Amino acid sequence: MTTATAPARTTTVAPARPAYKVTWLRVLRSEWTKFWSVRSSPITLATALFLLMGIGAIASYTYDPAAAPGSDGPPITDGAISLALMGTIFTSLAIGVLGVLVSAGEYSTGMIRATLAAVPKRLPTLWAKTAVFGVVATVVTAVGALGAFLLGAVILDGEAIAMSLGDDGVLRALAGTGLYLGLVGMWGVALGALLRSSAGGIAVLVGMLLIVPGLSSLLPASIADNVTPYLPSNAGQAVTHLNQATNSLGPWTGVAVFAGWVVVTLVAAAYRLARRDA
Amino acid sequence: MIDVHELTKRYGDKTAVDELSFTVQPGQVTGFLGPNGAGKSTTMRMIIGLDAPTSGSATVNGRRYAEHAAPLQEIGTLLEAKAVHSGRTAFNHLLALAQTHGIPRRRVDEVIELAGLQTVAHKRAGTFSLGMGQRLGIAAALLGDPEVVMLDEPVNGLDPEGVLWVRHLLSGLAAEGRTVMLSSHLMSETALIADQLVIVGRGRLLADTTVDDFIRQAGREDVKVATTQAERLRALLSGPGVTITATTAEELVVLGLDAHRIGAIAAQHGVPLYELSQQTVSLEAAFMDLTSDSVEYHSAPADTAARRAA
């Protein structure tokens, strides 16, 4: 058998083995490679960009000053910005779903076992995933928001509601859209890691972003006024508006509240990742 | 080496692994055997920290797996179930794993070639057959050029050429002084590759022995011999401690003499033999004897099942 032909047994293997080591930066690189090497990532990001710019351009194009204000269609409280960012809600769904897939996809395919075998300390993979997708989603959607606004500016040229980049709050709203959508993406990653299920993560994400805010109107007004502004999508979107509605949080308070949702979910996901068998 | 010490894993009131202790030594191939549900996979998962033990410990090269600075360099593993994102190509899968350790891209190419995956390296892993998936898993296990290799049912799904490849690969790694452990539920297959055996049933250690000792202890070194002069050979071989049974007119099963001795006697007396073989079937039988009390999923005899179905 094998040992019969084996040379003298030694406990050390080949001489001069390279010294490999797991580091934070390397885990980040690995997650970067992982993110870009599945088709769903570029496709969903392109979809998100298309939704953000396309819906913004269409809203600007179909804008009719004679019909506004007070008629059908969403209220135009922020002029050209409201029109340009009309696609934010749809984009948030695309980005959030991709975030869920980034983490929950590892569980549904079994990849998580290879991932944790390579990084048995576990938590670095969650932070790296969140960081990679958070940054990508923020940058891509901020660019998309800027593109939507510039398209709208061309289309709305000469209209009363037209705005330029230099106008008060415009850059903040556009960057804020990137920030909000980046946080949505990170929240998706956290939900996917917490629930370890794509379907579960997507259901919670869509429910909390879209359905719960609508349901909150069923609450008695006194309670609704205290709850509604703190819901993830309401709080997070405050920074994308120029003029805050009466019961809305301030832009940066809103971002902080939504970031709080993300952090709490991430901590819960980290706890589960560290403690539970994979 | 791998050191498992009083390792226990309970799920509720079900004990999957029960105070299991054994070591896997470098320089040889250790077969980790047991029927389905014996706790082999759970034990391997605990060795690399995917599952946390209820009690006891498992160390690789003296440390808990998670405490190593470069775990893939210490131990390469292939687990029973596919551990790969179906949407990623084999190359990118290996590259992403390599990047966590700073393993160079050239090593990724090397293991792809070693595993014979060159032609499919840029195809998505979801399109792979079971055999190609196993090869990808083995490529991933070898990525860090590890001192210890631990494979769960590595030949599962491989074609004969692949089985042979795995055998040569593993004995080659052991010959280089590495620690090799592979699990299986097939004794006959494992005996061909392994030197050492760790046999478990219902999460408990049943035997920790060498393949040679196991065969000896199994005590059933039957030799099947076929000759045109069965009666004459029978008389020549008879003696104290030798049992001979005739299976057909020209076939004898001899217990108590090895094939070497039988051949010599036959040649000395000019008895023509056209078959002379050690019965490897007895190995599987001995294994089943050993584990029969601890088989998790008993199947009803075929006729009983048929009767029930009728």
Query: For residue A9, what pLDDT is reported?
Result: 43
pLDDT, tens digit, 9 for 90 and up, residues A174-210: 999 999 999 999 999 999 999 999 999 999 999 999 9
Q: Considering only CB atoms, which chain B residues are within 8 Å of A273?
A: none
- Helix residue ranges per DSSP H, chain A: 2-5, 24-36, 40-61, 80-84, 88-109, 111-118, 123-155, 170-195, 198-206, 212-215, 221-227, 232-237, 251-275
Contact with chain A for residue B147, Cβ under 8 A: yes
Structure tokens at B266: 């036959």
Q: In whole angstroms, give the CA distance from residue A115 to residue A106.
A: 8
Mean pLDDT in residue range B164-187: 93
pLDDT at residue B138 greater than cutoff 90: yes
The per-residue pLDDT for range A81-104, each reduced to its tens digit, is: 989 999 999 999 999 999 999 999
Overall fold of domain B2-216? Rossmann fold (3.40.50)
Mean pLDDT for the stretch of residues B218-244:
85
Task: State how beta strands B29-33 and B179-184 pair.
Answer: parallel
Judge: B83–A106 Cβ closer than 8 Å, yes or no: no
Measured CA to CA, the distance from residue B275 to residue A154 in angstroms comes to 92
Closest chain A CA to residue B103: A20
Q: pLDDT tens for residues B199-220?
A: 999 999 999 999 888 877 776 6
Segments of chain B assigned to CATH 3.30.70: 221-278
Query: Is B62 an 8 Å CB contact of chain A?
Result: no
How does DSSP assign chain B, residue by residue? -EEEEEEEEEETTEEEEEEEEEEE-TTSEEEEE--TTSSHHHHHHHHTTSS--SEEEEEETTB-GGG-SSHHHHEEEE-SS--S-TTSBHHHHHHHHHHHHT--HHHHHHHHHHTT-GGGTTSBGGG--HHHHHHHHHHHHHTT--SEEEEESTTTT--HHHHHHHHHHHHHHHHTT-EEEEEES-HHHHHHH-SEEEEEETTEEEEEEEHHHHHHHHT---EEEEES-HHHHHHHH--TT-EEEEEETTEEEEESS-HHHHHHHHHHTT--EEEEEE-THHHHHHHHHHHGGG-SSPPPPHHHHHHHH-
Query: What is residue B309's predicted lDDT score, i.e. its pLDDT?
Result: 47
Distance, in angstroms, between A144 CA and closest chain B CA?
27
Q: Which of A5, A37, A112 to mutate to test the interface with B (most CBs of B within 10 A)?
A: A37
Nearest one of B10, B40, B49, B48 to B22, comparing CA atoms: B40
CB-CB neighbors (< 8 A) of A9 in chain B: 26-28, 177
Q: Identify any residues that bridge with A232 across adjacent strands, giving them in sequence order.
A: none
Averaged confidence pLDDT in chain B: 89
Q: Where, residue-wise, is CATH 3.40.50.300 in chain B? A: 2-216
3-state secondary structure A3-59: HHHCCCCCCCCCCCCCCCCCCHHHHHHHHHHHHHCCCHHHHHHHHHHHHHHHHHHHH
Residues of B in contact with A110 (CB under 8 A): 81-84
At residue A220, φ and ψ (nearest 5 deg) are: -55, 140
Taking CA–CA distances from B99, the nearest residue in chain A reads A30
Ranges of residues in chain A with a pLDDT under 70 are: 1-16, 67-77
Q: What angle, 0 to 180 degrees and rounded to 10, lies between the N-to-C axes of helices A111-118 and B90-101? A: 20
Q: Is A236 exposed, middle or buried (0-12, 13-18, 19+ CB in 10 A)?
A: buried
CATH node for B221-278: 3.30.70
